[in-house]
């Protein structure tokens, strides 16, 4: 590797480093491949770089230093629940009996792993008021897909194949309509009312004999609690449809209220949000899928069942939609989630949602002192602010505020989502952040809004303290460069 | 910027009718609202399209918008240059940034379109 | 509990909000109040929760058995540097890199991952990962349907049975029909029948796996590829053992336009099935149909090299119901692990590991043959092989288990005609001692008349 690079110089690609034959040796040298296989089935060349362990360690250490995680600083990314990921979770996921267990190990030699799955599933059922959970889906979006496949099969078996509409509020996550489309459902988008909620009267005008599923999250993506959820569920049920709960925001209601009691028939959790699994830069996630009693038989295979004090994977479930992934679950995450449940217990989880809501409301009133908050009422775990007025006055947009926050050492909130709020900033502090951290962030945001009025150019130029300045996304999309190519 | 010799749709597309041929594009107002256009997906030549029906999509970095044809006809040519240079739509929406050429089905449909003055009013709202 | 608030903090914050209590803050309508106490696992201090879960982990665990299990999940050596690097908090606790300026490191690592997958498969581009091998195949099938506008898909019976099952789950949602191409008696796809099927029916895509589920090399030959082209179907190569890419001719070389694979073998813990890391690689022609995130190289405002998520308009958060897929979260952290694995091993190390897998699996083949057990197929294989034990495989495997050996997979579970056959894997971690132990045990339990 070349001389130590300063922070701002580009980091070479791993392919631009190394020399053939330099790789640190981890296994014995093997015999030439052609001594085992006919030449015709072998590849000619393997154009990968050889680097020493030290060079690889420095390279990826440097890349880590150019990456912002929760461990680095405050991460108020709305809807993503970036709370502290306890280190004990990772330690336990790495226990040899779990980390080295092959998925095809017979059930009677996988009892520990199966018990972990079972304990987590039972706890989820109680926490969210569902009859059963499948721990199989790899992420929330995949759980949505599985849930809609269940709905499709359920209606087909009831002879109600005309049910081809899925109702989705305009505040919903993009995965909702995308999942619906993957099951051949047509999407009906529902406008939120002036209070940012779904109006039961509005639901009544769209439900009918073609309604399959209504997908909602509660609190919704504006952070507002849908208090009339029962009326909405009744309207959908009376029309013969099913209610789906998008659990992306479950951090706001654990131990307080349950989707099952609100009338939801299906739900998913984003274990990586609510139950402190590290997001790992965008996965792996984990999306347990919960169902009410009448849909248990349809869950994906396999499903963990208990017989006496033994557990087994049940593959023989004739009504199941089938498997949704290569193996049984993102098991390492199941271990992490269970560790988190043990760390908190029922009482602790209740406090988690209380403090998440407390932190969000505290920030909401503080931020409202200098930025428009379009829904000025008690919120749940997150709230939205809007830079629309600021943009009119100063030309500074939500994007610029986000970039200026990076310069002040904070991750930016979610911006431009939900789509119904112009110049939206969606802020979710989570329960693990202290009052001092929240105060610090609010002060930085206040400083940015003041700077917008005195020196907007500074914000339009932001960020300037990061390893690169504002990135040219247009060029990236117009001339896609998605890989390195060997020099000719 | 509205061109005086063209007709417009409420969806911000323009059409230039010459005999039984029509050239279609998006307006300057539309390209401005869309932002930097990075990709344009157009119909295959030979396809028949109905007035106000969708004929493709235009992508900016963080948005996707449907393209609608202001008039019915058969697609006879698409602007292949946009494949490598989608920026032409931003640069020259009424010229190099044209999208498709149609063989007209019914030039009478022009009565459903907006005259330049009316379109100007629409975008001023 | 990982919450920070003192009593004074709570009071100060409630006062700022202008509300009396936490209960008031979280008030819900009466009918939504909890009616019974929650029944979740009890709260334990960290040292006790560690004990509790470690104790559960040890319960009836097969982890110390001598193992020849494979079938899409493989035991390979992972250098210690992988976890030291991948478990760094900056990587581990980052979100999807939406804010590129503070995510350059992760974005660059994913760009490197995309490149590694391209170099290994011979394709033009690869995505930032999908959930696993099975969903990679399902998503590839959807790509082929979108490319062709057709609603029927052809898959070889030699493709991993779990992958085919997941393909069916996804296809049921889209009302897409699946046909299966049969096997030859030598454990490969019957290319003659495949060609016939292609003559008769229009397919969106055709999927073959190599090495296939039986461990055998199984690719399209020139003639079969021609019939795929004539049909207009998209040829798809499936990879369940990514290590084979280091040794075998690339899927691109036998005509695949999409490669759907699983990269668990590259340092990702076997962890009872997940998380693993699927990948999709393809040709430039299908660039805009590929699902999932893509990282692109570009410049910043000062013209410096920079990386960013790109072509996002394909994705669900923008295109919603018209997106190429509903995928949101991918398997970034597993992709990072695989990238670091590949960087550490390098060309030399990866070739060595592949060679050792070939060597050990051939040692296994010889040992079981010497023990009097027949190899079922004669096709060239990578690191898995099928033996015919001449009686129900389940019985033999149970008897091996008594002797501390997980002998492999009972193929009868998926292929009734192979109910006397076992799929066995040997990797660089398989020792000669383990092979000898298996061979001796097999000889004992399959001896004519032996009670098993």
- The ipTM of this complex is 0.97
Are C135 and A325 a contacting pair at CB < 8 A?
Answer: yes
Task: Report the candidate in C127, C113, C92, C114 with the shortest Cα–Cα distance to residue C333.
Answer: C92
Confidence of residue C451 (pLDDT cuts 50, 70, 90): low
Are A416 and B62 a contacting pair at CB < 8 A?
Answer: yes
Of the listed ranges A36-40, A242-246, C309-313, C364-368, the one predicted with least confidence: C309-313
pLDDT, average across residues A134-159: 96
Shortest Cα–Cα distance, B89 to chain A (Å): 13
pLDDT at residue A174 in the model: 82
- The CATH-assigned architecture of domain B7-105 is Beta Barrel (2.40)
Residue positions counted in chain C: 452
pLDDT at residue C448 in the model: 60
The rounded distance, in Å, linking the Cα atoms of A393 and A388 is: 9
pLDDT, average across residues C129-150: 96
Shortest Cα–Cα distance, B38 to chain A (Å): 5
Confidence of residue A173 (pLDDT cuts 50, 70, 90): confident
Shortest Cα–Cα distance, A389 to chain C (Å): 24
**Model confidence pLDDT, tens digit, residues C399-412:** 999 999 999 999 99
Check residue C5 and give left, alpha or beta (phi > 0: left; psi -120 to 50: alpha): beta
The rounded distance, in Å, linking the Cα atoms of A472 and C308 is: 8
Confidence of residue C325 (pLDDT cuts 50, 70, 90): confident
Residue A276 confidence (pLDDT) above 80:
yes
In the three-class reduction of DSSP (H, G, I as helix; E, B as strand; rest coil), residue C316 is classed as helix
Are C312 and B64 a contacting pair at CB < 8 A?
Answer: no
* Nearest Cβ partner for C305 among A10, A123, A327: A10
pLDDT at residue C317 in the model: 73
Q: Which residues are CB-neighbours of A44 under 8 A, at least 6 positions away?
A: none
Are B60 and C288 a contacting pair at CB < 8 A?
Answer: no
Burial of A32 (0-12, 13-18, 19+ CB in 10 A): exposed
Residue A5 confidence (pLDDT) above 60:
no
Q: Which residues of A touch B86 (CB under 8 A)?
A: 478
Are A345 and C42 a contacting pair at CB < 8 A?
Answer: yes
Shortest Cα–Cα distance, C229 to chain B (Å): 21
Are B64 and C322 a contacting pair at CB < 8 A?
Answer: yes
pLDDT at residue C449 in the model: 57
Q: Taking a C-beta distance cutoff of 8 angstroms, is the pair A352, A86 a contact?
A: no
pLDDT at residue C450 in the model: 57
Residue C313 confidence (pLDDT) above 90:
no
Q: Which residues of A touch C394 (CB under 8 A)?
A: none
pLDDT at residue C299 in the model: 96
Shortest Cα–Cα distance, C268 to chain A (Å): 10
Residue positions counted in chain B: 125
**Model confidence pLDDT, tens digit, residues A312-364:** 999 999 999 999 999 999 999 999 999 999 999 999 999 999 999 999 999 99
The rounded distance, in Å, linking the Cα atoms of A328 and A381 is: 32
Residue B72 confidence (pLDDT) above 90:
yes
Phi, psi of C406 (to 5 degrees): -95, 100
pLDDT at residue C314 in the model: 78
Q: Which CATH number is A353-474's, of 3.20.10.10, 3.90.1150.10, 3.40.50.2000, 3.40.50.300?
A: 3.90.1150.10
Among C100, C284, C313, C319, the residue to mutate for chain B (most B Cβ within 10 A): C313
pLDDT at residue C211 in the model: 98
Shortest Cα–Cα distance, A419 to chain C (Å): 10
Q: Please check whether residue A478 touches B, CB under 8 A.
A: yes
Interface of A with B in 343-372 (CB under 8 A): none
Q: Which residues of A touch C98 (CB under 8 A)?
A: 77, 414
For the CA atoms of A101, A107, A111, A116, the dihedral, rounded to the nearest 10 degrees, stands at 70
Shortest Cα–Cα distance, A227 to chain C (Å): 7
Residue in chain A closest to B39 (alpha carbons) equals: A478
Residue in chain B closest to A415 (alpha carbons) equals: B62
pLDDT at residue A84 in the model: 97
Average pLDDT over chain C reads 95
The rounded distance, in Å, linking the Cα atoms of C300 and C306 is: 6
pLDDT at residue A7 in the model: 56
Among C37, C71, C93, the residue to mutate for chain A (most A Cβ within 10 A): C93
pLDDT at residue A136 in the model: 98
pLDDT, average across residues C263-288: 97
Q: Please check whether residue C88 touches B, CB under 8 A.
A: no
Are A329 and C274 a contacting pair at CB < 8 A?
Answer: yes
Residue spans of the domains in chain B: they are 7-105
DSSP secondary structure string for all residues of A348-372: HHHHHHHHHHHHHHHHHHHHTTTSB
A touches which chains (3+ CB pairs under 8 A)?
A: B, C
Q: Which residues are CB-neighbours of A462 under 8 A, at least 6 positions away?
A: A400, A403, A404, A406, A407, A470
Q: Which residues of C touch B59 (CB under 8 A)?
A: 313
Residue A208 confidence (pLDDT) above 70:
yes
Are A30 and C356 a contacting pair at CB < 8 A?
Answer: yes
Q: Please check whether residue B59 touches A, CB under 8 A.
A: yes
Shortest Cα–Cα distance, B39 to chain C (Å): 9
Confidence of residue A177 (pLDDT cuts 50, 70, 90): confident
Q: Please check whether residue A477 touches B, CB under 8 A.
A: yes
Residue A485's Cβ-side half-sphere holds a number of Cα atoms within 13 Å equal to: 8
Interface of B with A in 88-117 (CB under 8 A): none
Residue A445 confidence (pLDDT) above 70:
yes
Residue positions counted in chain A: 488
Residue A4 confidence (pLDDT) above 50:
no
Q: Which residues of A touch B89 (CB under 8 A)?
A: none
The rounded distance, in Å, linking the Cα atoms of C107 and C128 is: 10
Question: Could you tell me the two tokens for A358?
Answer: 């407390």
The rounded distance, in Å, linking the Cα atoms of A59 and C340 is: 10
Question: Could you tell me the two tokens for C301?
Answer: 């405002």
Q: Please check whether residue A485 touches B, CB under 8 A.
A: no
Q: Which residues of B touch A416 (CB under 8 A)?
A: 62
Size of interface A-C (CB pairs under 8 A): 694
Are C343 and A14 a contacting pair at CB < 8 A?
Answer: yes
Q: Taking a C-beta distance cutoff of 8 angstroms, is the pair A6, C334 a contact?
A: no
For the CA atoms of C94, C96, C97, C98, the dihedral, rounded to the nearest 10 degrees, stands at -130
Q: Which residues of A touch B59 (CB under 8 A)?
A: 477
Are A123 and C39 a contacting pair at CB < 8 A?
Answer: yes
Q: Taking a C-beta distance cutoff of 8 angstroms, is the pair C423, C411 a contact?
A: yes
DSSP secondary structure string for all residues of A399-457: HHHHHHHHHTT-PPPEES-STTSTTEEEE---TTS-HHHHHHHHHHHHHHHHHHHH-HH
To the nearest whole percent, how much of chain A has pLDDT over 90? 92
Measure CA C167 to chain center: 14
**Model confidence pLDDT, tens digit, residues A106-129:** 999 999 999 999 999 999 999 999
**Model confidence pLDDT, tens digit, residues C282-300:** 999 999 999 999 999 999 9
Residue in chain A closest to B83 (alpha carbons) equals: A478
Are C134 and A323 a contacting pair at CB < 8 A?
Answer: yes
Residue A69 confidence (pLDDT) above 50:
yes
The domains located in chain C, with CATH, are 66-77+348-446 (3.90.1150.10), 80-341 (3.40.640.10)
Packed helices A140-157 and A175-182: angle between N→C axes, nearest 10 degrees: 40
pLDDT at residue C452 in the model: 47
Of the listed ranges A171-175, B33-37, C77-81, C267-271, the one predicted with least confidence: A171-175
Size of interface B-C (CB pairs under 8 A): 17
pLDDT at residue A488 in the model: 78
Neighbours of C31 (CB within 10 A): 12
pLDDT, average across residues C236-245: 98
Burial of C221 (0-12, 13-18, 19+ CB in 10 A): exposed
Residue in chain B closest to A480 (alpha carbons) equals: B38
Are B39 and C313 a contacting pair at CB < 8 A?
Answer: yes
Residue spans of the domains in chain A: they are 88-343, 353-474
Q: Which residues of B touch C315 (CB under 8 A)?
A: none
Residue A13 confidence (pLDDT) above 70:
yes
Task: Report the candidate in B63, A330, A21 with the shortest Cα–Cα distance to residue C348.
Answer: A21
Confidence of residue B2 (pLDDT cuts 50, 70, 90): confident
| Residue of A8 and A70 predicted with greater confidence | A70
Task: Report the candidate in C34, C42, C40, C53 with the shortest Cα–Cα distance to residue A122.
Answer: C40
pLDDT at residue B125 in the model: 77
Q: Which residues of A touch C62 (CB under 8 A)?
A: 101-102, 105-106, 109-110
pLDDT, average across residues C355-361: 98
Size of interface A-B (CB pairs under 8 A): 15
Confidence of residue A10 (pLDDT cuts 50, 70, 90): confident
DSSP secondary structure string for all residues of A72-130: TS---BTTT------HHHHHHHT-HHHHT--TTS-GGGBHHHHHHHHHHHHHHHHHHT-
Are B39 and A477 a contacting pair at CB < 8 A?
Answer: yes
* Nearest Cβ partner for A325 among C132, C175, C247: C132
Of the listed ranges A8-17, A406-415, A435-444, the one predicted with least confidence: A8-17
Are B61 and A474 a contacting pair at CB < 8 A?
Answer: yes
Q: Which CATH number applies to A88-343?
A: 3.40.640.10
Residue in chain C closest to A365 (alpha carbons) equals: C17
pLDDT, average across residues A373-400: 96
Interface of B with C in 33-62 (CB under 8 A): 38-39, 41, 59-62
pLDDT at residue A181 in the model: 87
Residue A302 confidence (pLDDT) above 50:
yes
């Amino acid at each position: 590797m070349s001389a130590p690079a300063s922070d701002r110089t580009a980091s070479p690609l791993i392919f631009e480093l190394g020399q053939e034959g330099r790789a640190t040796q981890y296994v014995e040298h093997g015999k030439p491949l052609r001594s085992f296989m006919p030449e015709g089935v072998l590849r000619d060349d393997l154009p990968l770089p050889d680097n020493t362990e030290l060079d690889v360690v420095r390279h990826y250490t440097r890349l880590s230093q150019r990456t912002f995680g929760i461990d680095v600083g405050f991460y108020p990314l709305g809807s993503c629940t970036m709370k502290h990921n306890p280190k004990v979770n990772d330690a336990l996921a790495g226990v040899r009996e779990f980390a080295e267990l092959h998925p095809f190990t017979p059930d009677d030699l996988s009892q520990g792993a199966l018990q972990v799955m079972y304990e987590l599933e039972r706890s989820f059922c109680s926490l969210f008021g569902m009859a059963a959970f499948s721990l199989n889906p790899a992420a929330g979006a995949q759980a949505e897909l599985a849930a809609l496949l269940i709905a499709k099969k359920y209606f087909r078996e009831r002879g109600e194949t005309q049910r081809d509409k899925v109702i989705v509020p305009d505040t919903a996550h993009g995965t909702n309509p995308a999942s619906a489309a993957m099951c051949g459902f047509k999407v009906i988008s529902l406008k939120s009312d002036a209070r940012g909620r779904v109006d039961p009267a509005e639901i009544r005008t769209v439900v009918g004999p073609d309604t399959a599923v209504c997908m909602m999250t509660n609190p919704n993506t504006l952070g507002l609690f849908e208090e009339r959820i029962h009326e909405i569920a009744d309207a959908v049920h009376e029309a013969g449809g099913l209610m789906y709960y998008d659990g992306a925001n479950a951090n706001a209601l654990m131990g307080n209220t349950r989707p099952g009691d609100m009338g939801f028939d299906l739900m998913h959790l984003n274990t990586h949000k609510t139950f402190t699994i590290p997001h790992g830069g965008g996965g792996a996630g984990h999306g347990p899928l919960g169902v009410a009693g009448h849909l248990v038989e349809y869950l994906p295979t396999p499903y963990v069942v208990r017989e006496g004090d033994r557990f087994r994977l049940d593959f023989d479930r004739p009504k199941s939609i089938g498997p949704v992934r290569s193996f049984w679950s993102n098991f390492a995450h199941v271990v992490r989630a269970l560790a988190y449940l043990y760390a908190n217990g029922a009482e602790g989880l209740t406090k988690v949602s209380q403090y998440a809501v407390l932190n969000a409301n505290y920030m909401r009133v503080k931020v409202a002192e200098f930025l428009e908050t379009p829904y000025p009422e008690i919120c749940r775990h997150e709230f939205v602010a809007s830079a629309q007025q600021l943009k009119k006055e100063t030309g500074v947009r939500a994007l610029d505020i986000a970039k200026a926050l990076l310069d002040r050492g904070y991750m930016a909130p979610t911006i431009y989502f939900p789509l119904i709020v112009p110049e939206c900033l969606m802020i979710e502090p989570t329960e693990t952040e202290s009052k001092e951290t929240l105060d610090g962030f609010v002060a930085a945001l206040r400083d940015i809004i003041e700077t917008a009025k005195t020196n907007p150019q500074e914000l339009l130029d932001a960020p300037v303290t990061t390893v690169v300045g504002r990135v040219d996304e247009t060029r990236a999309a117009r001339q896609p460069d998605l890989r390195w190519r060997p020099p000719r | 910027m509205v061109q005086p010799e063209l007709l417009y749709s409420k969806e911000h597309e323009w059409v230039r009718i010459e005999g039984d041929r029509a050239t279609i594009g998006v307006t300057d107002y539309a390209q401005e609202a869309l932002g930097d256009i990075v990709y344009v997906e157009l119909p295959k030549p030979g396809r028949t399209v109905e007035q106000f029906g969708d004929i493709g999509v235009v992508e900016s970095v963080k948005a996707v918008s449907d393209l609608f044809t202001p008039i019915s006809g058969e697609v006879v040519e698409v602007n292949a240059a946009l494949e490598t240079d989608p920026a032409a739509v931003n640069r020259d929406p009424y010229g190099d940034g044209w999208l498709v050429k149609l063989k007209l089905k019914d030039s009478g449909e022009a009565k459903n379109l907006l005259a330049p003055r009316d379109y100007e009013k629409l975008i001023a709202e | 509990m990982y919450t920070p608030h003192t009593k004074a903090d709570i009071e100060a914050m409630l006062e700022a909000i202008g509300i009396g209590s936490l209960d008031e803050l979280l008030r819900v309508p009466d009918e939504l109040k909890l009616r019974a106490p929650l029944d979740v696992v009890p709260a334990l201090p960290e040292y006790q929760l560690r004990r509790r879960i470690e104790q559960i982990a040890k319960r009836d665990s097969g982890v110390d058995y001598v193992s020849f299990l494979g079938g899409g999940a493989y035991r390979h050596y992972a250098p210690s540097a992988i976890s030291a690097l991948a478990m760094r908090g900056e990587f581990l606790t980052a979100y999807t890199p939406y804010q590129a300026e503070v995510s350059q490191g992760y974005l660059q690592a994913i760009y490197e991952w995309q490149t590694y997958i391209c170099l290994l498969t011979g394709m033009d581009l690869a995505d930032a990962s999908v959930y696993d091998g099975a969903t990679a195949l399902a998503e590839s099938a959807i790509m082929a349907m979108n490319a062709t506008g057709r609603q029927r898909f052809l898959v070889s019976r030699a493709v991993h049975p779990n992958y085919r099952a997941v393909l069916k789950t996804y296809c049921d949602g889209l009302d897409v029909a699946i046909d299966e191409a049969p096997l030859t008696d030598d454990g490969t796809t019957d290319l003659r029948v495949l060609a016939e099927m292609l003559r008769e029916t229009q397919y969106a895509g055709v999927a073959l796996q190599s090495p296939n589920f039986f461990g055998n090399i199984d690719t399209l030959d020139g003639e079969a590829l021609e019939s795929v082209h004539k049909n207009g179907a998209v040829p798809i190569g499936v990879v369940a053992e990514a290590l084979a890419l280091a040794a075998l001719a690339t899927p691109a070389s036998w005509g695949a336009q999409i490669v759907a694979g699983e990269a668990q073998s590259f340092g990702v813990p076997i962890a009872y099935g997940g998380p693993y890391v699927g990948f999709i690689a393809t040709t430039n022609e299908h660039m805009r149909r590929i699902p999932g995130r893509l990282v692109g190289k570009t410049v910043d405002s000062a013209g410096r090299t920079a990386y960013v998520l790109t072509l996002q308009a394909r994705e669900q958060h923008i295109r919603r119901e018209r997106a190429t897929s509903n995928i949101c979260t991918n398997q970034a952290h597993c992709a990072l692990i695989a990238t670091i694995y590949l960087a550490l091993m390098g060309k030399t190390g990866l070739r060595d590991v592949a060679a050792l897998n070939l060597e050990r699996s051939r040692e296994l083949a010889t040992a079981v043959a010497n023990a009097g057990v027949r190899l079922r197929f004669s096709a060239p294989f990578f690191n898995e092989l099928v033996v015919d034990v001449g009686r129900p495989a389940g019985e033999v495997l149970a008897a091996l288990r008594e002797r501390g050996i997980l002998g492999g997979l009972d193929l009868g579970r998926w292929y009734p005609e192979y109910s006397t056959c076992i799929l066995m894997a040997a990797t660089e971690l398989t020792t000669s001692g383990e092979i000898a132990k298996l061979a001796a045990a097999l000889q004992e339990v399959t001896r004519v008349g032996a009670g098993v």
